[in-house]
């Protein structure tokens, strides 16, 4: 009897095993798991996968035990918890996080290893908060200093952006958290962001605005991509057939999930047929208003279901969309091998500090810096940003940090509280979405007078102003309205310089700004938003405990008209012309033309011979780096071969430091317009005083190519090319030429 019972039990066990769903078997290929899950789902369950169920979640398949997706804004940390059905904060007490430096700070490090540390740390905090998809990194190109979201991006150059994006994405996804790369594509302004139609050439698209996204997909292996709000070719990017079907999936082979920006879908038929997988935030403006109709009325909800039932959407399209969402779920929410995550650890603070340390850019120094604590004397700190918490405001990247070290607190700790006085000097209003609340003139005048009077009695003044996260400053949803600093800061800086020549300008901003006082200022630092550990990084860089090694990830024009996007002075180039073209969804839409074409940033300054105030790649040190002779492995590059370029770098100064060696290549003669030179490589090296190292770059034909719209192919013409090795795009230390032949 016992043997019979055992045999019967074994038979039942085998039968149960045979019926075990493949989608639960993590050893099976994801394609098999997806196919198995789809075979078990109803049409309604498949449709439900393609639209939100709350502000930041989408449904799984409860009947099959497939969990929902939880998303969070990024990319500088995990946003505080938002209410289920509206945009208010939930008021949790356990959602305080590490505020990591802004992506412009990461870009200024020119350090891919720090990008990997960044992605890993954010991924760990997302895991701890039970988030499956982090909305970032942002890879849009800095076309104009006035774009309100420049601080969320990685600068003006597609090569630098791609080199930093890939390790960030890979390290985050190694934690089992999806990077949702945004905003795809040409989302370069906030004015009319939800429907402006961008007019640009295919060369500009492929050479400037798409390369970093392609790297994110093909090299980074991004699991999801967020469509942009704007239009290209008269179609919104979130359901743009050429952008999503032809380029993203057809040319690049993307196998992940396409997600709308919040409120980025506008048409059911286009959303169904043009490559969108998951619709979020419909019936909102992306940030403020609530969904008054309910999630079942999303374009990819009941209206989508109706089209399917009418036979107007093929079932293979339905399965493809649902399959992409399931793939994302299996990679994240159903990944049982991912770690547990952690929050606000010493390791995360150390990562934030390291990024902040290497991001600070020393623009100018006549010897006033480093300001040694035992020789500083009486220090006066001036500026609203010395005490302002710059993680507040800015839109969806706003963070709720557990800890936040202000520059003033860090400077007092460094130089002694008894030796450091503070004058606010100017005041910005609180960060209120959509508003930059003005401060009364009399109040600004009074604060300026107080700061100037105190400056006369100080041995040195440290000015910490710049921009902030208010509307019309560095903020989502609205662009900057001027290139100069707000709140009468230029007047304040001039008067302080009149009162005391020993002034360190340590302004904080997300991009370039006008510096009319630059010739008078003895020492100037350019600093991005550095988050939790930012004050400590600033104090260490000023004192010399950290040797600045940041390099500009964008050019700083002398004036706005020196920027390619603004050179013509025509509104059609920025921000565009309102009600310019028909929009099938909204009647009429604004239109903006990228007349500068491929000449963005330093490409414009070089080619048009318009010097920047500070060029792309610029950044000084407290030591001196000498470059040796550039040697090439060959003077000819043939077919699909390679050649190497090698140069020595020596720390010829008194202290250890880090230098970023930059490689640019120029096509000396071409049948089409090309920039004088383009960044094609860089390496950051650390050297002790007197130490020398060699840096070697490998050059391939891909580094020489331009996009030919006539053939829709990348091509290179035979001829002579110049290699430029420099400490910036204009500080060229060595040059050499080689010939390319097919």
pLDDT one-digit tens code per residue, 671-703: 999 999 999 999 999 999 999 999 999 999 999
pLDDT one-digit tens code per residue, 105-153: 999 999 999 999 999 999 999 999 999 999 999 999 999 999 999 999 9
Res. 15: pLDDT tops 60: no
- 741 bridge partner residues: 638
Residue pair 551/422 in contact (Cβ under 8 Å)? The answer is no
Strands 460-463 and 379-382: parallel
Band (pLDDT 50/70/90 cuts) for residue 288 is low
Res. 216: pLDDT tops 60: yes
Residue pair 82/90 in contact (Cβ under 8 Å)? The answer is yes
Strands 231-232 and 235-236: antiparallel
pLDDT one-digit tens code per residue, 368-417: 999 999 999 999 999 999 999 999 999 999 999 999 999 999 999 999 99
For residue 1, what pLDDT is reported? 39
Res. 13: pLDDT tops 60: no
Model's pTM, two decimal places?
0.96
> Which domains are present in the chain?
1-28 (no CATH), 41-80+97-331 (3.20.20.300), 360-543 (3.40.50.1700), 623-742 (2.60.40.10)
pLDDT one-digit tens code per residue, 192-201: 999 999 999 9
Residue range 288-314: mean pLDDT, rounded? 89
Residue range 453-466: mean pLDDT, rounded? 98
Segments of 120-265 assigned E as strands: 133-135, 178-184, 197-199, 224-227, 231-232, 235-236, 257-259
For residue 294, what pLDDT is reported? 86
Question: Pick from 492, 505, 491: which is nearest to 461 by CA?
Answer: 505
pLDDT one-digit tens code per residue, 530-540: 999 999 999 99
For residue 582, what pLDDT is reported? 86
For residue 587, what pLDDT is reported? 85
pLDDT one-digit tens code per residue, 549-560: 999 999 999 999
Res. 2: pLDDT tops 70: no
Mean pLDDT of the chain: 95
For residue 100, what pLDDT is reported? 98
Residue pair 335/133 in contact (Cβ under 8 Å)? The answer is no
Main-chain phi, psi angles of 79, to 5 degrees: -65, 150
What stretches of 145-285 show up as alpha helix (H) in DSSP? 158-173, 202-204, 211-218, 268-273
For residue 11, what pLDDT is reported? 36
Q: Which residue has the tokens 């019926």?
A: 19
Active-site residue list: 261
For residue 265, what pLDDT is reported? 96
For residue 286, what pLDDT is reported? 62
Residue range 349-355: mean pLDDT, rounded? 98
For residue 290, what pLDDT is reported? 63
Cα–Cα dist 374/416, whole Å: 10
- Name, in order, each residue with C-beta under 8 angstroms of 16's C-beta and a sequence gap of 6 or more: none
Q: Positive or negative, the Cα torsion across 474, 478, 479, 481?
A: negative
Band (pLDDT 50/70/90 cuts) for residue 452 is very high
pLDDT one-digit tens code per residue, 246-279: 999 999 999 999 999 999 999 999 999 999 999 9
For residue 287, what pLDDT is reported? 59
Cα–Cα dist 531/512, whole Å: 19
For residue 434, what pLDDT is reported? 78
For residue 24, what pLDDT is reported? 93
Residue pair 584/525 in contact (Cβ under 8 Å)? The answer is no
Residue range 477-492: mean pLDDT, rounded? 97
| Residues above pLDDT 90, as percent of the chain | 92
Count CB-CB contacts under 10 A for residue 569: 9
């Amino acid at each position: 009897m016992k043997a019979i019972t055992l045999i019967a039990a074994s038979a039942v066990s085998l039968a149960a095993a045979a019926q075990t769903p493949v989608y639960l078997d993590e050893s099976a290929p994801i394609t098999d798991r997806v196919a198995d899950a789809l075979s078990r789902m109803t049409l309604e369950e498949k449709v439900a996968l393609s639209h939100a169920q709350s502000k930041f979640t989408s449904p799984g398949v409860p009947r099959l035990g497939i969990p929902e997706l939880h998303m969070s804004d990024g990319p500088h940390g995990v946003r505080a918890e938002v209410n289920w059905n509206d945009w208010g904060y939930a008021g949790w007490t356990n959602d305080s996080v590490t505020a990591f430096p802004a992506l412009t700070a990461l870009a200024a490090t020119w350090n891919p290893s720090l990008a990997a540390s960044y992605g890993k740390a954010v991924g760990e905090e997302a895991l701890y908060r039970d988030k499956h998809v982090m909305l970032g990194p942002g890879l849009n190109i800095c076309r104009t200093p006035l774009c309100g979201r420049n601080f969320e991006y990685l600068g003006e150059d597609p090569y630098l952006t791609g080199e930093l994006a890939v390790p960030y994405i890979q390290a985050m996804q190694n934690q089992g958290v999806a990077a949702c790369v945004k905003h795809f594509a040409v989302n370069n302004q906030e004015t009319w962001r939800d429907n402006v139609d961008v007019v640009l050439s295919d060369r500009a698209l492929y050479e400037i605005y798409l390369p970093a996204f392609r790297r994110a997909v093909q090299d980074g292996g991004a699991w999801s991509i967020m469509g942009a709000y704007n239009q290209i070719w008269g179609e919104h990017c979130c359901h743009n057939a050429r952008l999503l079907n032809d380029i993203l999936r057809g040319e690049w082979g993307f196998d992940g999930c396409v997600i709308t920006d919040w409120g980025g879908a506008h048409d059911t038929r286009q959303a169904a047929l043009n490559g969108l997988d998951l619709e979020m935030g419909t019936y909102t403006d992306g940030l403020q208003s609530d969904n008054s109709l309910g999630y079942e009325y999303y374009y990819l909800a009941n209206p989508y279901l109706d089209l399917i039932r009418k036979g107007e959407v093929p079932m293979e399209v339905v399965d493809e969309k649902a399959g992409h969402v399931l793939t994302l779920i299996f990679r994240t929410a159903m990944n049982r091998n991912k770690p547990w995550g952690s929050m606000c650890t010493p390791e995360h603070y150390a990562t934030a500090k390291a990024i902040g340390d290497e991001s600070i850019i020393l623009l100018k120094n006549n010897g006033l810096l480093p300001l040694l604590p035992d020789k500083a004397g009486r220090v006066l700190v001036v500026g609203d940003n010395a005490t302002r918490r710059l993680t507040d405001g800015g839109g969806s990247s706003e963070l709720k940090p557990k800890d936040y070290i202000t520059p003033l607190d860090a400077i007092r700790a460094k130089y002694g509280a008894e030796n450091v006085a503070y004058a606010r000097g100017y005041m910005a209003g609180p960060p209120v979405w959509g508003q930059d609340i003005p401060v009364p003139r009399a109040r600004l005048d009074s604060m300026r007078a107080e700061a100037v009077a105190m400056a006369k009695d100080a041995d040195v003044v440290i000015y910490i102003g710049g921009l902030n996260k208010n509307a019309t400053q560095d903020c989502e949803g609205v662009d900057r309205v001027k290139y100069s600093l707000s709140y009468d800061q230029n007047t304040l800086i001039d008067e302080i310089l009149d009162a005391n020549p020993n002034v360190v300008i340590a302004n904080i901003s997300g991009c370039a700004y006008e510096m009319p006082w630059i010739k008078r200022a003895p020492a100037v630092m350019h600093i991005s938003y550095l988050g939790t550990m930012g004050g400590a990084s600033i104090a260490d860089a000023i004192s010399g405990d950290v040797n600045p090694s940041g390099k500009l990830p964008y050019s700083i024009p002398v004036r706005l008209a020196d920027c390619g996007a603004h050179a013509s002075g025509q509104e059609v180039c920025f921000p565009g012309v309102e009600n310019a073209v028909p929009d099938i969804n909204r009647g009429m839409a604004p239109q903006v033309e990228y007349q500068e074409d491929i000449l963005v940033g330093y490409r414009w300054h070089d080619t048009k011979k318009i010097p920047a105030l500070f060029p792309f790649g610029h950044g000084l040190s407290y030591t001196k780096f000498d470059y040796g002779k550039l040697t090439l492995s060959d003077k000819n590059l043939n077919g699909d071969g390679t050649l190497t370029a090698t140069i020595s770098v020596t720390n010829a100064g008194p202290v250890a430091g880090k230098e970023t060696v930059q490689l640019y290549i120029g096509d000396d003669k071409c049948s089409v317009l090309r920039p004088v030179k383009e960044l094609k490589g860089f390496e950051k090296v650390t050297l002790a005083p007197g130490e020398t190292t060699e840096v070697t770059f490998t050059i391939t034909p891909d580094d020489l190519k331009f996009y030919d719209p006539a053939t829709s192919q990348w091509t290179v013409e035979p001829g002579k090319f110049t290699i430029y090795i420099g400490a910036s795009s204009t500080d060229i230390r060595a040059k050499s030429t080689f010939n390319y032949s097919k």
